[in-house]
Amino acid sequence: MVRILNVAEKNDAAKSIANVLSRGSSRKREGFSKFNKIYEFEYNILNMNNCTMSMTSLSGHLLEMDFIGQYRKWYSCSPVTLFDVPVEKHCHPNMVDIKRTLEREIRGCQHLIIWTDCDREGENIGFEAIQVCKAVKPNIPVYRAKFSEITPQAIARACSNLIRPDKNVSDAVDVRQELDLRIVSNYGLCCERYKQVQAFIPEPFWKLKVSHSHEDGDCEFTWKRNRLFDHLACLVLYTHCIENPVAKVVDVKSKTKSKWRPTALDTVEMEKLASRKLRINAKETMKIAEKLYTQGFISYPRTETNMFPKELDLQKLVEDQTRDYNWGDFARRVLENGPNPRNGNKTDQAHPPIHPTKYTDNLQGNEKKVYEFVFTAQGLMITAKNYLEVYVYDKWNAKVIPVYNKGDTFQPNSIEMVASETSPPSLLTEADLIALMDKHGIGTDATHADHIETIKSRMYVGVKPDGKFVPGQLGMGLVEGYDSMGYQMSKPNLRAELEADLKRYMQNIQMKDD
């Protein structure tokens, strides 16, 4: 009988995939790690009948990159040497039991199938499992399952279309890991903003403020010039207004105002909006989203795509949501004209936007918040007016003003000359930092949250109670040290150029393969 070892990225995913493939009849046994079980069942795959499938899991990265030998304690040597010292991957002490499970299980298997997440990071994690298994069985055939959601249809398609793992994609992640070991570049963004705030010198300005109380309400008029940095010039204009205080409406322009629906949801937007609107940081958001994904509630949460593919059955997805007490009626109205999402213009050709794959009302706390946000933010709405009924994260903030007609004259209730001064840019929030990382090409949708956790854990930056990032002494010391030596290592363009080079390299490899 043929035995096949299947390796997923996390235990929840292994359990869910095994449950789908076995139709709920898998047998559970223990591995060396109490957190990573083994699920067994029979399945027809690779043109063979009744194969014994052993489905186990990792807990994210099995191996970690570090400097070799004595340089692993990098704080006890000259930092300059660490730019040239070779690096290697070794098993983290917390992952040894998982490694032992793989080594034991692969001995009795004839094939290996990798079920890690289908992005660059997942490909790299898969190759870590391959490295451990091939150390025991060098010639074992290895396959890769590709899927974007844990549903019966998606998993069955993956089994019918197994491919070879892509070493080039994994190598690209190794390059990033090595660079992040030697230098993390996104803390420089926080430091640069902090330096801008510290160096900012306020400049005084003056502006005119006019208000009018009408029977239909109060109105405050905005000066078309906005402000003047010359006190005397503004005073002359103010005096002129005081001497001739009757205002005349010279023109009235009106237009319909729309509030655009959110576009279909990709990872970067989910992280930014969850931070701003749900007050959940990016790391926690991704942890929750990945759990919802492995439980089969939402699609794969690491995606650069914000446009739904034509083949995705949106009708069925919306029908599934009609059971909900809060938005069921709205979902039914969507179905009357057919789902019409507001698509963006990005696609990674791998995964659809983040969307619910099945309905649930059994979630609590932040899991409930993220699931509901994925439903309301992913764009299954009809018009700009109606989406606000269920998208509670936006408010209609337009100010109501009285009706004015061309030619009307009135006496303002107040005419003031107001003094103020320019203000510095604000410190970066997590959402701001994610947006800048995305703009400069630092990291990927799969690594933004981890980058931010790294710079916090290394004490390059701290976080104020209001969520703003403040560079620590170590972070500022590194930036100023690099700057004084003439190095550009803390600048975002260095990492952006590396990411662009990696992308071009991957595209060239893909073209050669095609």
Contact 264, 344 (CB under 8 A): yes
Q: How far apart are CA 321 and CA 294, in angstroms?
A: 19
Helical spans, DSSP H, in 183-327: 187-199, 231-243, 267-273, 282-294, 314-321
């993220």: which residue's tokens?
370
Buried b (16+ CB within 10 A) or exposed e, 413-439: eebebeeeeeeeeebbbbbbbbbbbbe
- Kindly list the distances between the CA atom of residue 470 and the CA atoms of 146, 434, 464, in Å, as whole numbers in the listed order: 41, 15, 7
Tokens representing residue 449 in the block: 């949250």
Task: Look at residues 369, 168, 161 and name the one whose alpha carbon lies nearest to residue 270.
Answer: 369
Torsions phi, psi for 25 (to 5 deg): -115, 20
Residues 6+ apart with CB under 8 A from 96: none
404 catalytically annotated: no
Contact 320, 356 (CB under 8 A): yes
Residues 6+ apart with CB under 8 A from 507: none
Catalytic residue among 300, 387, 391, 460: 300
Tokens representing residue 85 in the block: 């010292």
Q: How far apart are CA 270 and CA 275, in angstroms?
A: 8
Rg of the chain over Cα atoms, rounded to whole angstroms, equals 29
């591995």: which residue's tokens?
31
Length of the chain measured in residues = 514
Amino acid at 494: L
Task: Look at residues 416, 405, 399, 401 and name the one whose alpha carbon lies nearest to residue 248.
Answer: 405
Point out the residues that are catalytic. Answer: 300
